[in-house]
Structure 1
């Protein structure tokens, strides 16, 4: 197994549906007001490996403790995927990921088609 210890950033994917979009908006507003994060576009339909509507929040490694701690306490019941950016999308979204709430089934085949996993 190749060791990889370089994390260039993190992504949090905040999942929502039509009933919880307002909650997702509150969380997004809170993140933007409190942290130097990059808020991605709203995706009201599943996109890429994500099985549900979501938006992405990108943040730097030195913000991990603050951003993830805030999300743990303020996710209002929404499911959130947090993963590192190491250059290996498949492993980042699976073995290296953490979930706040329920772990959703991602479409890993999508990631494998884009950038095959190096073995």
Structure 2
């Protein structure tokens, strides 16, 4: 099995999607809030439903290449066992969720049908 691609700082903008379930929702909520406060990042809703191409509950964090080098190692260290999709924001949703999709932890299936 191939190792998931690790995030690389080669794009201008990114989303990090923190995946969780009913057992980890409180931990994920605290993690996302702390990320927003610590790094001054925009944190989306903690979705306890499937949204977009995501096949698990998720919370989206928006950040730029300027925050990448501090934020990504922090997120990796603090995420516990949660999987995090980090993808580029190029304007091409399909490419962003395939070619430019990177992972902290285990990769999770993405539903590409609607992209």
Normalising by structure 2, we get a TM-score of 0.86
Aligned position for 2:106 = 102
Specify which structure has the higher proportion of strand. 2
* Contact 1:36–1:59 (Cα < 8 Å) also in 2: no
RMSD: 1.3
Written as runs of structure 1 = structure 2, the 5 A alignment for 1:18-57 is 18-57=22-61
Q: Residue 32 of structure 1: CA displacement?
A: 1.7
Tell which structure's C-alpha radius of gyration is larger.
1
Residues matched between the structures, number: 106
> Gaps spanning 5+ residues in structure 2: where?
1-9
What is the distance in 2 between the residues matched to 1:39 and 1:29?
7
Specify which structure has the higher proportion of helix. 1
Select the residue among 87, 96, 106 that pairs with 1:92: 96
Instruction: Identify which of structures 1 and 2 has the higher relative contact order when contacts are C-alpha pairs closer than 8 Å and 6+ apart.
Output: 2
Q: Residue 29 of structure 1: CA displacement?
A: 2.4
Instruction: State the SS of the aligned residue for 2:49.
Output: coil
Moved over 3 A (4+): none
